[in-house]
Amino acid sequence: MLLARAFDERCLTLQRQGRIGFYVPAMGQEAAQIGCGWALDPADWLFPAYRELGLALTRGVTLDELLCQFFGNAQDRLKGRQMPNHYGYRDRNFVVGSSPIGTQIIQAVGAAMAARRRGDAIVTIPFFGDGATSSNDFHAGLNFAGVFRVPTIFFCQNNEWAISLPRSRQTAAKTLAEKGGAYGVPGEVVDGNDVHQVFRAVRTARARAIAGDGPTLIEAQVYRLGPHSTSDDPRRYRSDAELAEWKQKDPIGRLKHELLDAGAWTEEQDAALLEEVRGEVAQALARTETVGPADPTSFLDDVYATRTPALDEQRHYLEEMLKAGMVRQ
């Protein structure tokens, strides 16, 4: 959780300095993501939105891999073809993040249906915010999941704001979790700032799904402490008093004091760990900033399994233009 927070802080600074183009912080949602991630099996398929940094860390995604994607450099697995902060790792069953709201929900349901037909004992889990519960894909996804009893855990991070629209203006429902009932999908509300509560809820939902008892909708109640993205100014739509109130519930501070009260942690250990993770972030940044830019001709790759004569001709033409300085990398 501390590593995620330190990475968030540095990436926000990088964007403000013009060193990366875009960033979506996860500050305040670390317990929900990391508690959920540890409760899953590595074989389970994850369908994130665009704020699931903590989840990626539980899958062993390195800071170098993340930063290379943000820079779109020569070591970016996605070859600069996705906007920054939209990463994916097939070897970790981590699907590329979705910007369109809710699309990952129906993709996860379809993948779960396929997994069950193959006899794979896994679950799929889409991650989305409160705003996505107003999308068509949310309703279609839950309806299919309920009818076909697929092994999907719908994980909603209710962070109170759909960019600038408060949760109170999104729905008149008492909770978002209760929306599952209309589709025969059990819903559960958890305190998303309590890493233990999230872990237990996801563990239970996974056991239900593997046993053939169908999907679950989990609403993790959290709060977005930072902006929606680096293109957003939350001061325009929420008060300082509201932010101050939620900062008192910061999941990292909460877990720290829980450990201190239990005698399992000290202030000295905490300070040392924070310094350590900030050092990890600095070292990863130093390494990735030495990586050169992506090959400008790489956009001609992966169009077909085998390049066609037309693509070879286009590549040759582009290479000649690059040599002549007619285009910039």
Return d(Cα 227, Cα 74) in angstroms, integer: 29
Strands (E) located in the chain: 45-47, 124-129, 153-158, 161-162, 165-166, 187-191, 216-221
pLDDT higher than 70, residue 329: no
| DSSP secondary structure code for residue 151 in this structure | S
- pLDDT band at residue 204, thresholds of 50, 70 and 90? very high
Query: 258 and 243: one domain?
Result: yes
Q: What is the pLDDT of residues 146-163, one digit of tens each?
A: 999 999 999 999 999 999
Residue 314 has pLDDT above 90, yes or no: yes
Quick: pLDDT tens for 249-293. Answer: 999 999 999 999 999 999 999 999 999 999 999 999 999 999 999
CA pair distance 303, 254, nearest whole angstrom: 49
Mark whether 13 and 161 lie in a shared domain. yes
Catalytic pick from 86, 167, 206, 228? 228
Q: Please count the CA atoms within 13 angstroms of the CA of 326 that sit on its side-chain side.
A: 8
Residues 184 and 266 in one domain: yes
Nearest to residue 19, comparing CAs of 288, 304, 223, 311?
288
Which three-class secondary structure state does DSSP give residue 230? Answer: coil
Instruction: Judge if 185 and 155 occupy the same domain.
Output: yes
Contact by Cβ (8 Å): 56, 50: no
Question: Do 193 and 279 share a structural domain?
Answer: yes
Same domain flag for 89 and 163:
yes
**Does residue 11 have a pLDDT over 80?**
yes
Question: What is the rounded CA–CA span in Å between residue 66 and residue 25?
Answer: 13
Across the chain, what does the average pLDDT equal? 96
The whole-number average pLDDT for the span 166-172 is 95
Number of domains, the chain: 2
> Do 93 and 236 belong to one domain?
yes
224 is annotated as an active-site residue: yes
Q: Using an 8 Å Cβ cutoff, are 1 and 195 in contact?
A: yes
Could you tell me the pTM of the whole model?
0.95
Catalytic option among 235, 237, 257, 317:
237
- The residue ranking higher by pLDDT, 328 or 220, is 220
53-77 confidence digits (pLDDT tens): 999 999 999 999 999 999 999 999 9
Q: Indicate if the pLDDT at residue 113 is higher than 70.
A: yes
Q: Verify whether residue 278 is a known catalytic residue.
A: no
Instruction: Kindly report the backbone phi and psi dihedral angles of residue 191, in degrees, each rounded to the nearest multiple of 5, phi listed first.
Output: -75, 105
Neighbours of 168 (CB within 10 A): 8
For residue 328, pLDDT over 90 is answered with no
Q: Do 212 and 68 belong to one domain?
A: yes
Q: Which domain holds residue 60?
A: 2-288
Whether residue 247 sits in one domain with residue 299: no
**144 and 266 in one domain?**
yes
Domain co-membership, 193 together with 328: no
Q: Are residues 306 and 197 in the same domain?
A: no
pLDDT attached to residue 252: 98
Per-residue model confidence (pLDDT) at position 18: 95
**Is residue 316 annotated as part of the catalytic site, yes or no?**
no
pLDDT digit string, tens, across residues 37-55: 999 999 999 999 999 999 9
